[in-house]
Amino acid sequence: MVVLIQKIFLLLIVFLAVMSCENNPEKPEKKAEKKVEKWLEAGVFNPDSAYKFIEKQVDFGPRVPNTSNHVKCGNWLSIKLASLGFEVTQQIGEVTAFNGAKLPVRNIIGNFNKDSPKKIMLCAHWDTRPFADRDTQNINLPIIGANDGASGVGVLLEIARIIQKDSLKIGLEIILFDVEDYGAPNYNSSFSDLQSMNDTWCLGSQYWGYNLPKDYQKPIFGMLLDMVGAKNAVFPKEEISRMYAGYHLNKVWKLGQYLGYGSFFKNKIAPPLTDDHTYINELTQIPTLDIIHYDLSPFTNRFDFGKFHHTHQDNMDIIDRKTLKAVGQTVLTYLYNN
């Protein structure tokens, strides 16, 4: 009898368990969903227009401080930026070069939606190198600076043109820094680590950082465009950009890759650079990243800015519309997603 009761008890337990499973079927396990970035569309960046803005600067000749070409180009940049709907001011001063020369500094600043509580900064330098210290000929003559100088400015002017037609809701400050490329020369025709000459470079951005107005509204972040026009350019994640503006750096690179420009925006890490963003970050604590052509040289296996850097080969022949499109469309789209 005991055995019979035990069997009946066990059968009852099994029956109840089966009924429980039928009444409460186990839910299928959810698969982890891959998070996909959603980007808002922006205006269409026109590389032909940016190319013409670069060409216009180059037509003035070398834009070296203390020259008539420099004055004429500065006048044109100020007028052009104002014609695109920006409120333009100029920061005028004097800086001392590596050789003791006193140089005029003219930082050209344009503001769009100035009263907006939220502002982003875009910047580039507009001056050119006073000597071709990495060339083998005419090393004491200034370079034309199509890529190193004009390309970043050309992209920013095209972005300004688009924003005027398709207004941005946030504030935008465009700064064209002067006297960036007057650093101490290196006449051995090889790449020299800019860190070794440090503060002789980027005199315009240093002057700006040390002389901000007390009521200056700081941007939430900034992007520097330097040497962004050469064919097959490579933009790595440079260390100072990672250190100070890593969040935006990673987002911009992901966006560039999402837009189809992964051949330009590489995930490779590059050593720190002394560039305008260095002083913006250190002096003002505005997180600023640098989009700059900086890749391993096939000749030296060291990071370099291209064989045309600081030579007379830095002319319109090396400017490529595909590169301009990649940079311009990525930066423009990122603005509209902030």
d(C-alpha 8, C-alpha 16), whole Å: 12
d(C-alpha 317, C-alpha 234), whole Å: 18
Give how far Cα 107 sits from Cα of 74, 180, 208, Å: 9, 10, 8
Is residue 9, in this structure, part of any structural domain at all? Answer: no
User: pLDDT tens, position by position, for the chain (338 residues)?
Assistant: 333 333 333 344 434 443 444 444 444 444 444 455 678 778 899 999 999 999 999 999 999 999 999 999 999 999 999 999 999 999 999 999 999 999 999 999 999 999 999 999 999 999 999 999 999 999 999 999 999 999 999 999 999 999 998 778 899 999 999 999 999 987 654 444 444 467 999 999 999 999 999 999 999 999 999 999 999 999 999 999 999 999 999 999 999 999 999 999 999 999 999 999 999 999 999 999 999 999 877 666 788 999 999 999 999 999 999 999 999 999 999 999 98
Residues 6+ away with beta carbon under 8 Å from 109:
88, 89, 90, 91, 173, 174, 175, 176
d(C-alpha 33, C-alpha 36), whole Å: 9
Beta bridge partners of 110: 88, 174
Q: State the angle between helix axes of 321-336 and 152-165 in degrees (0 to 180), rounded to the nearest 10.
A: 50
Instruction: Specify the number of domains making up the chain.
Output: 1
Is residue 26, in this structure, part of any structural domain at all? Answer: no
d(C-alpha 244, C-alpha 250), whole Å: 12
Amino acid occupying residue 133? D
Query: How confident is the model at residue 231, as a pLDDT?
Result: 97
Is residue 328, in this structure, part of any structural domain at all? Answer: yes
State which H helix or E strand residue 287 sits in.
Answer: none
Domain that residue 218 falls in: 42-183+193-336
Q: How many CB atoms lie within 10 A of CB 211?
A: 13
Amino acid occupying residue 19? M
Beta bridge partners of 108: 90, 176
Query: How confident is the model at residue 188, as a pLDDT?
Result: 54
Query: How confident is the model at residue 35, as a pLDDT?
Result: 52
Whichever domain contains 224, its CATH number is 3.40.630.10
Is residue 135, in this structure, part of any structural domain at all? Answer: yes
Contact in structure between 269 and 202 (CB atoms under 8 Å): no
Is residue 153, in this structure, part of any structural domain at all? Answer: yes
Beta bridge partners of 63: none
Is residue 199, in this structure, part of any structural domain at all? Answer: yes
Query: How confident is the model at residue 323, as a pLDDT?
Result: 98
**pTM given for the model:** 0.87
Is residue 27, in this structure, part of any structural domain at all? Answer: no
d(C-alpha 291, C-alpha 251), whole Å: 13
Query: How confident is the model at residue 36, as a pLDDT?
Result: 53
The token pair at 64 is 């070296």
Contact in structure between 253 and 270 (CB atoms under 8 Å): no
d(C-alpha 175, C-alpha 292), whole Å: 17
Residues 6+ away with beta carbon under 8 Å from 298:
none
Amino acid occupying residue 174? I
Query: How confident is the model at residue 156, as a pLDDT?
Result: 98
b/e sequence 230-262, b meaning 16+ C-beta within 10 Å:
beebbbbbbebbbebbeebbebbbebbbbbebe
